[in-house]
């Protein structure tokens, strides 16, 4: 029976450490600040932005929300980013995705000052992650590393399998595991013998966006299984990419959905904001 990895508890511990760092910086005259930009009325995005605001308040980070109408032009959004890039009160800038279809998301991300890119989506930061010389880590993969560490299992020398190759989770996740000396395999929709590959994994990270895609017969006994998915099952109930019930009987450690990876993502965003404040004030 797998040990449940409690993302809420790990996140609370890390947020406590972040709050201490923010307070210590304040004593040096540095107030950590973050701006979140939301364009349009996407309901999920509104919830994320609200949760980010709560996390800032909890950790003592100054936060601004810029809520723009759906019909905001590219020029208007770029002008706001320019203003935030130049604002010394703001250390981190996050433009909430998805953006309305008429806006060029890639161009907007590239417009954010890389030193204020707390999502680590800018090409410069992505490249730095690849070569191992990075200041910011993408929030979900960074949170997953913390969750794995919380189990006491070392990544060094382990077989690590990542299912999913997105720019937000799959690819950077593979890089972070590699930087921790894991032996990494990336699987995707064209992978043959997926079940056999999964069964070799000491650490299995699943980010495919398909409800209950990974079942217990795909899991190596005793493995650490991290479920990044957020889906609805046939009854409309929230579930992950892993079939929790069957995987729980085989895995050594397993994240639940909800309450696993989710709480860590926003927590690591706060951590990136603190790092940004230190860099911009010459403290690292």
**Residue 232 annotated as binding site:** no
Concerning whether 199 is annotated as a catalytic residue, the answer is: no
Pick the closest to residue 116 from 35, 14, 52 (CA basis). 35
Task: State the Cα–Cα distance between residues 109 and 120, nearest whole angstrom.
Answer: 9
Concerning whether 6 is annotated as a catalytic residue, the answer is: no
Concerning whether 42 is annotated as a catalytic residue, the answer is: no
Sort 58 into a burial class: Cβ within 10 Å, 0-12 / 13-18 / 19+: middle
**Residue 166 annotated as binding site:** yes
Residue that is written with structure tokens 């107030």 in the block: 31
Catalytic one among 113, 117, 119, 243? 119
Return the SS3 of 17: helix
**Residue 45 has which token pair?**
């995005």
Catalytic one among 52, 116, 171, 271? 52
Residue that is written with structure tokens 């590219």 in the block: 74
Sort 253 into a burial class: Cβ within 10 Å, 0-12 / 13-18 / 19+: buried
Q: Helices 7-27 & 43-59, crossing angle to 10 degrees?
A: 50
**Residue 246 annotated as binding site:** no
Which stretches of the chain are assigned E, i.e. beta strand? 3-4, 33-39, 62-68, 92-95, 159-163, 183-187, 203-206, 224-227, 231-232, 238-239, 253-254
Residues 6+ apart with CB under 8 A from 128: 134, 135
Residue that is written with structure tokens 């299992």 in the block: 153
Task: State the Cα–Cα distance between residues 106 and 84, nearest whole angstrom.
Answer: 18
Q: Indicate the annotated binding residues for NADP(+).
A: 164-166
Residues recognised as catalytic: 52, 96, 119
């Amino acid at each position: 029976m797998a040990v449940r990895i409690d993302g809420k508890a790990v996140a609370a511990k890390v947020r406590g450490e972040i709050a201490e760092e923010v307070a210590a910086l304040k004593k040096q005259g540095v107030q950590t600040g973050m701006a979140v930009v939301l364009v349009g009325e996407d309901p999920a995005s509104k919830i994320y932005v609200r949760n980010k605001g709560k996390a800032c308040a909890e950790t003592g980070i100054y936060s601004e929300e810029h809520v723009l109408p759906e019909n905001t032009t590219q020029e208007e959004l770029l002008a706001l980013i320019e203003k935030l890039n130049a604002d010394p009160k703001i250390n981190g800038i996050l433009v909430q995705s998805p953006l309305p279809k008429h806006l060029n998301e890639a161009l907007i991300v590239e417009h954010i000052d890389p030193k204020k890119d707390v999502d680590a989506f800018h090409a410069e930061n992505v490249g730095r992650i690849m070569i191992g010389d990075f200041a910011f880590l993408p929030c979900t993969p960074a949170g997953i590393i913390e969750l794995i560490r919380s189990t006491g299992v070392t990544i060094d020398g382990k077989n690590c399998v990542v299912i999913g190759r997105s720019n937000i989770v799959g690819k950077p996740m593979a890089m972070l595991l590699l930087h921790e000396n894991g032996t990494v395999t990336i699987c995707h929709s064209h992978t043959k013998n997926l079940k056999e590959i999964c069964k070799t994994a000491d650490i299995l990270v699943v980010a495919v966006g398909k409800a209950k895609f990974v079942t217990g017969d795909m899991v190596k006994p005793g493995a650490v299984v991290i479920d990044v998915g957020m889906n609805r099952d046939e009854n409309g109930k929230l579930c992950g990419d892993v079939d929790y019930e069957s995987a729980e009987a085989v895995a050594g450690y397993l994240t639940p959905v909800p309450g696993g990876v989710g709480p860590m993502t926003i927590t690591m965003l706060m951590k990136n904001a603190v790092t940004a404040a230190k860099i911009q004030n010459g403290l690292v």
